[in-house]
Amino acid sequence: MCQNEEAMTSLPAVPLTLEGASVLHQMMRFRWTAWKALAPAQQDAVLEEATAMLADIAGDTQQSAVYSLIGHKGDLMFLHFRKTFEELSRVEIALARPRLAEFLEPATSYLSMVELGLYESTLKLYTSLAERGIEPHSAEWNQEIEEQLARQRQTMAPRLWPCIPDRKYICFYPMDRRRGENVNWYQVPMAERQRMMHEHGMVGRRYAGDVKQIITGSIGFDDWEWGVDLFAEDPLVFKKLIYEMRFDEVSAAYALFGTFYVGLRVGVGELAALLKT
């Protein structure tokens, strides 16, 4: 094996990523029996307080949205995009303060960060550095990596710090890459992973006009490795997109999917109409 080939085989296996907004999903069950026991005037007072609070946390600089979940997995989902985990903690506590919280029972939650995977640029950069004889993880290697990431962060800023899309429907689900008995994503060479991810991404691009997708990374933060949020005006697009993606190699061979949550966007001013008996 020549020296260049040896350098190529010793490249780091981990692709570069860019991280942005901190994201929290809160799935809640509503205690309807306790709620219906309140007099109409009491319900009005609770809803007035809750509406004011939600309007405050869902402002232009503090992004939050409410969804009415469809099915048995929950009644409401609160979605929060913030700059940091500290801000997510504050909004979680703020949501627990109003009296409406007495009627909300947590079903589950999901913590993650907006993540952009850089498989293609990682492979090109690692290869270039290896061809120049720069040792992986050396000071020079790390400096070149950070310079590349800094340029990418500027270019990708709108995707790293997105607004919550103003679409009627949301579909959220967590997912993993297989690392079991038969196949292990984390043992596949990077060039192969890059090829499969490129093919996977080409499917999603065909749906770009109908669905907005936000991928978040959750390794070390929650029970799955990634979270996927899809936003659309027509829920049928969720089925078509996810079904088609099941046939590409990266999904067919390596993907594991968690629980799916589908909901309808509820404006702050619409909460009273949703809950009022």
Residue 76 and residue 67 in contact, taking contact as beta carbons nearer than 8 Å: yes
- Residue ranges of alpha helices (H) inside the chain are 3-9, 32-36, 40-57, 85-95, 119-131, 139-155, 157-160, 190-205, 236-245, 249-254, 271-275
Residue 62: strand, helix, or coil: coil
| Active-site entry in 173, 207, 254, 261 | 173
Q: How many residues does the chain have?
A: 277
240: DSSP letter: H
| Residue 173 known to be catalytic | yes
Phi, psi of 39 (to 5 degrees): -70, 150
Give 210: exposed, middle or buried? Use CB within 10 Å, 0-12, 13-18, 19+. Answer: middle
Say which residues have a Cβ less than 8 Å from residue 76's Cβ, sequence separation at least 6: 27, 28, 30, 66, 67, 68, 69, 104, 266
Asked whether 67 and 264 are in contact (CB, 8 A), the reply is: yes
DSSP 209: T
Q: Are 218 and 227 in contact (CB under 8 A)?
A: yes
Residues marked active site are found at 173
